[in-house]
A and B are shown apart, each in its own frame.
Chain A
Amino acid sequence: MHDIARSLVAEPTLADWKEMYGALWRIRLFEGHVQRLAAAGEIPGFPHLSTGQEAVAVGICTQLAREDVLFTSHRGHGHVLAKGSDMEATFAEILGRQNGLCGGRGGSMHLVDATNGVLGATGVVAGNLALAAGAAWAMQAQGRENISVVFFGDGATGAGAFHETLNLAALWRLPVLFVCENNGYAEFTSREEHSNVNHVSSFAAPYGIATRTIDGNDLPAVFAAARHAIETLRRGAGPYLLECMTFRMAGHYVGDAQQYRSKEELAAIREKCPIERLRRYLVERGVNSEELDAIGERARDAVLQAVQRALEAPPPDPATVLEYVYRAPALAAIPG
């Protein structure tokens, strides 16, 4: 995906859109396995799914270079995969296995793939925003053209750190792209119940941050808006806040019965599904259904193989549990 992304100078070709269609399916199916295995008790903890929000991940991360850095939230599987991290190593980490991205020390909410620029998912809502600004500061200080991207939900806007970071990023003109995935819910509470501010993009204006609110389930719309935002950032024009209106098809976490959502709302899922929408977009442009089905099938096979290999991976060695608290051997040797 990155190879095509980096070579994109003109509008994406039909082949590029088909590739992104496959990427949407890979995330959807990957998380389907997460859901299945979590429900079966084979995944520890409580993974959060981004099902229904895949177009945001693919539309943005596809356009990032490997050296651009990414910070994501507790709902970050899609972002990590869309940036090109290895599916098997990512799934192995979610399973808590030895050859997972973090050797089983991180898990679903703390995915890190440093060589791919994935500097971390965080389980603390709004906890990643200032980190992303800091990474952007480092790039600015080092004279690099790379950018920092951070994904967060609308729930994060209730935290003081969100406002502090926006102020600082604008003040220092940091190359950081703030991507709000506004799915209308802060965990179990609807946006209406936790803020009078309807749109997260409204917070950008007082700080003088460029912003747009877009339909986050429309992949071409996300891609175009992200492209504009990323160009702005690479020009050194300061931060950008992209608010992607989206729709969480799953609950807050695997096992959430979602009794706080109406039947009507849940019934609208299929209509809003980003994969269905891209499919219609491609069919309207002459791509035949069989070809799209085949892309979906290839994604299904690739994901299944990665998941099966991850499931065969050994668990971490309990004898290594104290490794990586500190690096310096002199310190690591001292217990506490």
Chain B
Amino acid sequence: MQHTFIEILRRALDEELARDAAVYLLGEDVAAGGAFGVTRGLAQKHGSARVRNTPISEAAITGLATGAALCGLKPVLEIMFIDFATLSMDCLVNQTAKYRYMSGGQLAVPLVVRTQAGAAGGAAAQHSQSLEAWFIHVPGLIVVAPSTPAEAYGLLKSAIRLGEPVLFVEHKRLYTMKEELAVGAELPPIGRARIAKPGTDVTVIAYSAMVQSALEAAQKLADAGISAEVIDLRTLLPLDMATIAASVSKTHRALIAHEAVLNGGVGAEIAARIGAELFDELDAPVLRVGCGFAPIPFAPQLERALLPGSADLVRAVRQIMGLAE
């Protein structure tokens, strides 16, 4: 049976609440199901003490979850939109991420901050951003961005059990995507990428919803006789350079695709590392595909014009391959 991304997240949370009494859910409207219905029914099932609504106070609830994590709870905090993580930033960057280090290993923060990012359906400039790059700049944080419902199921469970502060970035465009869930499958490890589609001519590195665009592009490229290997990063911090290196050493060409803007992005980081570590393997410059450098606009025509899609990836791969338009 197929399940949506939202249903599968709910199932993962439900199972972790049942598995570990230290797991607590909190956030704005989570007891009522959350803005997207991810936590629907969990307060009824696990009790209002385990699934708690909070005031609209991102600074305080991020601190609250961090302080509770220092004292034995394993909170899963929902920040409704990553755009509002700006209000959590002081705590996440200055406290949460640094606690283990500043205390010389005396304390840990087993905390998952679930948040939701990306553009879809006219959410416009303040509810559509892809801000994950800000967080990969911070030692001590883990950043995870799943690409499919089944991936999200395993990665969320692994994140909750990790014992480190994890920012778990869900893409709103994936929420309605459906997928089978293999029963009893091994949970994917945090910090390891996966090969979403094997190939031999070019490596396309993506994460979150852009993995779906990369797979679409790979199909179109296959029709043109180009074999693209698609890497789903899954974890953005730490980066799994071993998987990237193995692939690029085979294909000798790399494209990095994300929905975030290119400036200072995850792609810039990966491109720099490929350049430094795999220069001799490269047959072509590393290219990146990302969002146009503007806030996300409201009108559907403008939103479409700004966001990268599979056609952009196909164009970039053809450029890497030295093929004419």
Contact = CB atoms under 8 A, between A and B. Distances in A.
Interface of A: 69, 71, 100-106, 110, 112-115, 119-120, 122-124, 127, 129-139, 141-142, 148, 160-161, 164-165, 167-168, 171, 323-328, 330-331, 334-336
Contacts of A328: 162-164, 190
A132 B67 CA distance: 6
30 contacts: A69-B71, A102-B103, A114-B103, A115-B106, A119-B70, A123-B94, A124-B94, A129-B60, A130-B67, A130-B91, A131-B64, A131-B67, A131-B91, A131-B95, A135-B67, A138-B67, A141-B49, A141-B68, A161-B59, A164-B57, A168-B57, A168-B60, A171-B55, A324-B103, A325-B139, A327-B163, A328-B163, A328-B190, A330-B191, A336-B238
Contacts of B206: none
B54 A334 contact: no
Contacts, number: 171
- 5 pairs of A and B residues whose beta carbons are closest in the complex: A134-B67, A130-B63, A164-B60, A138-B71, A103-B104
A324 B100 contact: yes
B292 to A, nearest CB: 27
Nearest to A117: B71
A171 B64 CA distance: 13
A161 B60 contact: yes
B91 A127 contact: yes
Nearest to B239: A336
A64 B1 CA distance: 56
Contacts of B14: none
Given A120-B99, A325-B140, A328-B162, A165 B240 contact: no
Contacts of A69: 71
B67 A167 contact: no
A137 B142 CA distance: 24
B237 interface: yes
Contacts of B37: none
A110 B301 CA distance: 51
A331 B70 CA distance: 20
A330 B105 contact: no
Contact of B238 (A106, A114, A138, A331): A331
Interface in B231-279: 237-241
Contact of B107 (A104, A119, A164, A168): A119
B164 A327 contact: yes
Q: Interface centre among B55, B104, B107, B108, by most A CB within 10 Å?
A: B104
B319 to A, nearest CB: 28
Given A171-B55, A328-B164, A331-B190, A134 B64 contact: yes
Contacts of A330: 189, 191
Given A101-B104, A135-B71, A167 B66 contact: no
Nearest to B73: A138
Contacts of B62: 130
Nearest to B63: A130
Contacts of A137: 64, 67-68, 73
A325 B239 contact: no
Given A168-B57, A331-B164, A331-B191, A133 B64 contact: yes
Contacts of B164: 326-328, 331
Interface string B90-103: 11001100011111
Contacts of A168: 54-55, 57, 60-61, 64
B65 to A, nearest CB: 6
A112 B189 contact: no
Contacts of B106: 101-102, 112-115
B69 interface: yes
B55 A129 contact: no
Q: Interface centre among B67, B105, B106, B139, by most A CB within 10 Å?
A: B67
A114 B107 contact: yes
Nearest to A142: B72
A264 to B, nearest CB: 38
A331 B100 CA distance: 14
A334 B67 contact: no
Contacts of B100: 324-327
B102 A167 contact: no
Contacts of A323: 105
Nearest to B240: A334
Interface in B160-178: 162-164
Given A127-B95, A327-B164, A141 B104 contact: no
B153 interface: no
A138 B24 CA distance: 10
A209 B119 CA distance: 42
B101 A325 contact: yes
A103 B106 CA distance: 10
A167 B95 contact: no
Nearest to A133: B64
Nearest to B241: A334
Contact of A105 (B60, B65, B102, B241): B102
B55 A141 contact: no
Contacts of A106: 102-104
Interface in B98-150: 99-108, 136, 139-140, 142
Contacts of B63: 127, 129-131, 133-134, 161, 165
Contact of A141 (B24, B91, B190): B24
Nearest to A112: B103
A74 to B, nearest CB: 12
Nearest to A140: B49
A132 B238 CA distance: 29
A102 B98 CA distance: 12
A89 to B, nearest CB: 11
Given A130-B62, A134-B65, A328-B163, A139 B71 contact: yes
Contacts of B241: 334
A113 B67 CA distance: 15
Contacts of A133: 60, 63-64, 67
B205 to A, nearest CB: 16
Interface string B77-89: 0000000000000
